[in-house]
Structure 1
Amino acid sequence: MHAVIPFLLRHGYWVLFANVFVEQLGLPVPAVPVLLAMGALAGLGDFSFLPALVLAISASLASDLIWFRLGRVRGHSILNLLCRVSLEPDSCVSNTKGLFSRFGAFALLFAKFVPGLNAAAAPLAGLTRMRAWKFVSADASGAAAWSATYLAAGFVFRNQLERAAQQAGRLGSWLLLALAAGLAAYIALKYYQRRRFIRDLRVARVTPEELWAMLESGADVAVVDLRRGLELEPDAVKLPGAIWIDMGEIETRHAEIPRDKEVILYCS
């Protein structure tokens, strides 16, 4: 924070707009520290709160419109690309589609507060052919809530943030080293979990060709299609004879899965 505030004092609103824009595009440049700092500076009288809020909303909406268009044109490939670079890609797609299936356009109102959904909500809205006016109104409202929350927090706690910035300045490089070490440890843990998950999948994985051969040979297997509703619309391929169970309903519908057959789970 101690490095953010002097930079904002020199460049002001342009930094806020650019920071929010690139963060919402998916680049690893966190916007929350800048929003907090800008709110604190507004509270101290260096900037105005309302123009900062309007710029943050505009920047967020501009980047989201790009993803909305890409989602409409490129479909699931864009969503899968976004989730592939996530630290938790195994749950990113399913969680995002599950929330969007449940809440629809209302998911955009809180999407920016939910990890994973924040990055994937705009392209998913385009993928599902949401009307542009509905997307803009819902996304702008969500951006307003997100921006206002952190700007207001900085405004209200400006004195505490100022003291924290001064303390961070005294700690200097030791604080940066501790933060870098913590971040590196977190990324290493997630990478290890990801590799272990992939290794487990490779042991039990059945290719589409192998499954087709099993079905053609008359093997006594039960195929359970775990794709969510959004993945089955409007032109997704249906598996003949498969039992379709939404992954979110697996606990309540598990009795439908045969216990006397080899079970193959299909998911995207």
Structure 2
Amino acid sequence: MHSDAGLPPLLRDLAPILDDWGYIALFVIIFVESFGLPTPGQTLMVAAAIYSHWGQLDVWLVAAVAFAAAVLGDNLGYWIGARGGRRAVHRWGRYVFLTPPRFAKIEGFFARRGSYVVVVARFFDGLRQFNGVLAGITAMPWRRFLLHNTIGAALWVGVWVSAAYFFGSQLLRILDLPWWMIGLVVAGAGAAVWLGARLLRRPART
């Protein structure tokens, strides 16, 4: 493998996992993250894509493994939610910071915007880990969940793997910035998208 000296600290900690286990580690960590366990699936995927930028992994295999793990893990989460996830969340959710009040708010929002949430869930911590469970708990039809979850997983993998593969060195410099600064940039971009969507929905004046 490429020396991990070129990775920022956040990704450097995961380098030994990729060095020792490669695609297996990528699959397992994204899979278990996708049904609720707090593992660094997205971060490991970025690290794996940067490795592929360096020629140490195959970018198509990285994308395929991450996509399969995401879809299968979310579907296991759906099954867990449908088969008793509510009891499990209320009993164990506090250990992953999913308290009953927080869960109630997420569940209410999910019930109103479920299909849209499933598509974008993977881009947000918390929703990424629990969108399958919540879909099962709220009795979203499985076929609808599968369709929107597949679209969301494809977008998530496509965005992060492409960004890390094609802009590896630039992405490393971005990841070295303070997280609060990255958060401000992301929040600003999200606000711009939200404002643009509102303007597009506004009826034209005559």
TM-score normalised by the chain length of structure 2: 0.68
> Following the alignment from structure 1 to structure 2, what is the Cα–Cα distance between the partners of residues 15 and 43?
18
> Following the alignment from structure 1 to structure 2, what is the Cα–Cα distance between the partners of residues 90 and 26?
15
**One-letter identity of the residue aligned with 1:107:** V
**One-letter identity of the residue aligned with 1:104:** G
Aligned residue number for residue 94 of structure 1: 104
> Following the alignment from structure 2 to structure 1, what is the Cα–Cα distance between the partners of residues 159 and 64?
13
Q: 1:11 to 1:83 in 2, by over 3 A?
A: closer
Aligned residue number for residue 125 of structure 1: 135
Aligned positions of 1:1-268 closer than 5 A: 1-5=11-15, 7-74=17-84, 76-81=86-91, 83-87=93-97, 89=99, 91-160=101-170
User: How many matched pairs?
Assistant: 166
> Following the alignment from structure 1 to structure 2, what is the Cα–Cα distance between the partners of residues 17 and 8?
11
More relative contact order, 1 or 2 (CA 8 Å, 6+ apart): 2
Structure in which a larger fraction of residues adopt strand: 1
**One-letter identity of the residue aligned with 2:125:** P
Q: 1:128 to 1:32 in 2, by over 3 A?
A: closer
Q: 1:2 to 1:163 in 2, by over 3 A?
A: farther
How much identity, in percent, do the aligned residues show? 27
Structure in which a larger fraction of residues adopt helix: 2
Residue deviations 1:81-133 (CA, integer Å, cap 9, x gap):
46422336255213312321221222101112233323332122112322222
Q: 1:133 to 1:90 in 2, by over 3 A?
A: closer
Q: Give the CA deviation at 1:17.
A: 0.5
> Following the alignment from structure 2 to structure 1, what is the Cα–Cα distance between the partners of residues 170 and 127?
31
- What residue ranges of structure 1 are gaps of 5+ in the alignment? 168-268
Q: 1:142 to 1:164 in 2, by over 3 A?
A: closer
Instruction: Report if the CA contact (8 A) 1:67-1:123 is conserved.
Output: yes
Q: 1:54 to 1:61 in 2, by over 3 A?
A: same
Instruction: Report if the CA contact (8 A) 2:89-2:98 is conserved.
Output: no
Instruction: Report if the CA contact (8 A) 2:121-2:131 is conserved.
Output: yes
> Following the alignment from structure 1 to structure 2, what is the Cα–Cα distance between the partners of residues 17 and 125?
22
> Larger radius of gyration, structure 1 or 2?
1
Q: 1:8 to 1:25 in 2, by over 3 A?
A: same
